[in-house]
Amino acid sequence: MSTITSGVNWFEVGTDRPEETGRFYTDLFGWAFGEQGTPEASYRVTEAGPAGSIQGAIRDTGGASPNYAIFYVQVADVTDAARRAEAAGGKVLVPPRSNDNGLTFAHLADPVGNHFGVYAPPPGA
């Protein structure tokens, strides 16, 4: 039996209608959102559910990409995870990149097309 080294601990809903999407999840699950983005790049973070639930956010795509909902797996090395995903028959949908805070992420697809993400926290976090 192998040892699990990475876990799902973040989700993201990308939408061109963040206000409506946020209201939906608030009405459905009682989630509250706090803005952590900028007026140009809204990123509304929530603690989704009771203790032990994973956290997530609604990201305003501004219509620049299709709407989506994905989970993220924390990994030690995003570039290596992308390489291993391709070697295992998957695809890299969004190549590894870092945000202004130093968080590195990529969007991947498994061999049947399911979209998911991987990320590594900023150095020293």
Residue listed under structure tokens 């999840």: 25
pLDDT digits (tens, 9 = 90+) for 41-57: 889 998 666 777 888 99
Region 76-100: what's the mean pLDDT?
A: 94
pLDDT digits (tens, 9 = 90+) for 107-121: 999 998 889 999 999
What is the spatial distance between Cα 111 and Cα 78, in angstroms, rounded to a whole number? 18
- The contacts of residue 104 (CB under 8 Å, 6+ apart) are 78, 96, 97, 98, 119, 120
Longest CA–CA span in the chain (Å) reads 48
> What single-letter amino acid sits at 88?
A
Rounded to two decimals, what is the model's pTM?
0.79
